[in-house]
Amino acid sequence: MCELLGMNCNVPTDIRFSFSGLVERGGRTGEHRDGWGISFYEGRGSRTFHDPRASIDSEIAELVRGHSVKSLNVICHIRKATNGRICLENTHPFTRELWGRSWTFAHNGKLKGVKRKPLSFYEPIGTTDSEHAFCWLLDQVRTRFPKPPRSPRPLIALVHELALELNELGTFNMLLCDAQHLYCFCSTHLTWLTRRAPFGEASLIDREMTVDFAKETTPKDIVTVIATHPLTHDEPWTIMERGSMVVFEDGVVVGG
Amino acid sequence: MCELLGMNCNVPTDIRFSFSGLVERGGRTGEHRDGWGISFYEGRGSRTFHDPRASIDSEIAELVRGHSVKSLNVICHIRKATNGRICLENTHPFTRELWGRSWTFAHNGKLKGVKRKPLSFYEPIGTTDSEHAFCWLLDQVRTRFPKPPRSPRPLIALVHELALELNELGTFNMLLCDAQHLYCFCSTHLTWLTRRAPFGEASLIDREMTVDFAKETTPKDIVTVIATHPLTHDEPWTIMERGSMVVFEDGVVVGG
């Protein structure tokens, strides 16, 4: 199994505090040693750093941890390989273009028989069940909506329906971003937290590190963090129910 | 205008020597200060580092320059913006998936009216003429070959035909990779060089740096480097003719 981390905000925000906690699970406090990846959005495009090596040993993780990249949407994944060998092609997040936007996807879990689902438009580059699921999901979205719908509601309803269908094949904890919305589907474990004024302090669970967000933010900032398991021990994380989805835009819930 | 750098080899090879010369042109010996990007292939997938900042000031360029990434195919681009603002979405190389392979593309030049060419399958994420040209080119390849052709010849002929059509709109120096072949089209400036046994020394033009490739290689290695202008002053670069294309696989010419 793997661990997921996502962020969605109304102002470009630095994810390094949460990322620092997550990478510890990539070999030190957790067993997710089989690669990691992170996608940062800038506008409709995204920038992805992939490394098939453990995040705690990764020079690229060191670069990401050492430098401020501010973004409105981030998806990050650390991998414990269960399906597909350890290589770049099999390292999440996966990315495809639809409607002139970069879509990124990361998955935690295992899906039995997902490769029997036929694909038309998008094809996997690697061999994971996860990338096949992503290609299938995006195929369905593209078929139903050749152009982006005016209201996000029917799109959100479709993504939820597709996630439930995939979830029937096993475990499907998912983070998906279309450059604007962050879709979070909970199959077994997913939790989220919104930070907004008045901001306070937070301390990581996986390493000794405390941040006073009052010093890092403005009163208008709204920052939501999504993770497989809570990353801090002094904040009120919402544990999602199995089968539920929540969608964020500008840091707030817009559907689910 | 921009500068291009490509590499195609029969063994995974480190591009740092050539890259070190190129990044100097990103603000020091050249005026290409408006971002840079590099894509390294691993199998059918690719890993891209993008930075909208000048390569000589870029921490990501420092990372790439400082660590060995060995690859069979590399495409690199440093940008002097002529069309589209400076931002991540407009930073080459661009990437799309076709036939379960990652295709990457970088362009030097300007194409007048290219946005009037209709698109069906792929859409640009940014606003450059280059990305529109890439989407159109890949649309044509996909339409003609819904599945990869058995022989590369008709594909190479099609890419050459499409490149010539785009070239009629202005200047179209192009590097394109389908995870196996590296297609190099010369509109005005493109040059290439193959290094093979017996290997010797080479010295960069843009900074004081000399490598003895005999110490870095085995007798079986074949490494071809493609660049807008020669990167070394003591090797026999082939200057391509205008309108010509050359295609490399495993370091050797397979078509054009």
- Check whether B27 has a pLDDT greater than 80: no
Asked if residue B29 is part of any domain, the answer here is: yes
A-chain residues near B124 (CB < 8 A): 100
pLDDT of residue A27: 65
Q: Quick check: pTM over 0.90?
A: yes
- pLDDT exceeds 80 at position B32: no
Q: How many domains does chain A have?
A: 1
In a domain, B10, yes or no: yes
Which residues in chain B are contacts of A63 at CB distance < 8 A? 59-60, 63
In the prediction, which pLDDT does B246 show? 98
For residue A1, name the pLDDT band (cuts at 50, 70, 90). Answer: low
pLDDT at A184 > cutoff 80: yes
Instruction: Identify the CA nearest to B94 among candidates B173, B168, B177.
Output: B177
Single-letter code of the amino acid located at B110: K
**Span A146-168, pLDDT tens digits:** 999 999 999 999 999 999 999 99
Cβ pair B63:A60 closer than 8 A: yes
Q: Which of A87, A89, A136 to mutate to test the interface with B (most CBs of B within 10 A)?
A: A89
User: What is the torsional sign of CA A59, A62, A66, A67?
Assistant: positive
Instruction: Please list every residue in chain A whose beta carbon sits closer than 8 Å to the beta carbon of residue B97.
Output: 96, 122-123, 125
- Beta carbons of A43 and B87 less than 8 Å apart: yes
Q: Among all residues of chain B, which has the CA nearest to that of A45?
A: B89
> Dihedral of the CA atoms A195, A196, A199, A201 (nearest 10)?
0
Question: CB–CB of B50 and A47 under 8 A?
Answer: yes
Express as a percent the part of chain A with pLDDT over 70.
Answer: 95
User: For residue A241, how many C-alpha atoms fall within 13 Å in the half-sphere facing its CB?
Assistant: 3
Q: Nearest CB to B89: which of A43, A48, A96?
A: A43
Q: Do B45 and A123 touch (CB under 8 A)?
A: no
pLDDT at A51: 82
B-chain residue closest to A41, CA distance: B88
CATH number for the domain spanning A172: value is: 3.60.20.10
- In this prediction, residues B73-84 reach a mean pLDDT of 83
Q: Which residues pair with A170 in a beta bridge?
A: A111
From B176's Cα to the closest Cα of chain A, the distance in A is 17
pLDDT digits (tens, 9 = 90+) for A80-123: 767 677 888 899 999 999 999 999 999 999 999 999 999 999 99
pLDDT at B31 over 70: no
Q: How confident is the model at residue A16 (pLDDT cuts 50, 70, 90)?
A: confident
The question of whether B177 is a catalytic residue gets the answer no
**B177 is in which domain, residue-wise?**
3-248
